[in-house]
Each structure stands twice: as structure tokens, then as C-alpha cells.
Amino acid sequence: MFLRKAFLDEVNVAYQCIEDAREYHNLLGFVQWHPGYPTMNTIVEDIEKGIGFVFIEDDKVLGYCCIIIGNEPAYNIIDGAWKTDRVYAVVHRMAFSKHSRGKSLSGQAIDLIKEYCVENEIEAIRVDTQKENKPMQHILAREGFEYCGLVTFDGGPKLAYEWDN
């Protein structure tokens, strides 16, 4: 599997990854993203800004994420403390297709995101998630992210995590 910037002709498959993840979250009993976010237009905007990425294997899109290098305004106020004050990347909207579920791709995906960031001289990554999203919390802890506190994002409190190299 590898990570690359998404192309506009991949909007539909990238958005389907979001919808598949949304369905999976619902099966687990929580809502990571409310129905109005992210939208297909959100993915188009990510790709146009150069911050939309796809995970590819055998010429198939397995997953999607947004990687923003720089300040995330919602992260300026934290009930807790970030590990570092260095320049950081933010990962939003990480999702995999339902056909990719159960293949242990999350660790590979996080490694690819870390590699991308380090190659771009970014040595810290921040992520937020719902308190009910136990699978993501497990993945983040397993991949070396530390819980830092609570941030308010998308209208509610989110658990904030950071990894630094």
C-alpha cells in the first residue's frame, strides 16, 4: 500500500470510503461525523487544495484522508496540553472502504502518514476523535500517539492525540 495525493476523478471513490466508515461507525453505535459533514464537496475542496490523499494498493483506492500541514485553529485551545509546540500536521477524515475493513491497514496507513510528514520536515502529527470511537483510540495508542486532552471541533468535544518524532 502507498499514499499519494488524490485526483479529482477519485472524488466518488474517496467519498464512498467516508460513507463506508460512517456506516461502520453507526454499526458500532456512535457518530464520528454528522450527516452534513464531510460532504462530497468537502472531498473536492480537499483535493483542490492538495490536502486530500488516498491509500492505494494494486491500483485500487482503499482509503482516504486529509493531511493539513500547519495550524488547525480548533487546536489552539486545548483542555490539557500538546506534547510539542513545533509545526505539526493534522489528519482529518481518515476512512477506508468496507472492502478494506479487517485487513489491518490502519497501522500501515499511519506509518505512511508519518513518512510523508517526516519527508516534508514535519515531526509532529495531531488527530482528534470522538470519545466513543474506541477503535481509533486503540489505533492511535498502538501507533505511538499520546492522549493530550480535549479540543472543541465540529461543534463538540473531541479527544486530542499527538505523535512526535
Contact indicator for 153, 73 with CB cutoff of 8 Å:
no
Element at 134 (helix H, strand E): helix 134-142
What pLDDT score does 5 carry?
Answer: 98
Short-list 27, 33, 24, CA closest to 100: 24
Whole-model pTM: value is 0.93
The whole-angstrom separation of Cα 163 and Cα 90 is 10
109: exposed, middle or buried (Cβ count in 10 Å: 0-12, 13-18, 19+): buried
Provide the domain limits for residue 78.
2-164
What pLDDT score does 104 carry?
Answer: 80
Contact indicator for 51, 66 with CB cutoff of 8 Å:
yes
Bridge partners of residue 66, in order along the sequence: 52, 92
How many structural domains compose the chain? 1
- Residue 7: CATH number of its domain: 3.40.630.30
pLDDT per residue of the chain (165 residues) written in tens, 0 to 9: 999 999 999 999 999 999 999 999 999 888 888 778 899 999 999 999 999 999 999 999 999 999 999 889 999 999 999 999 999 999 999 999 999 887 888 999 999 999 999 999 999 999 999 999 999 999 999 999 999 999 998 778 999 999 998
- The DSSP output letter for 10 is G
What pLDDT score does 63 carry?
Answer: 96
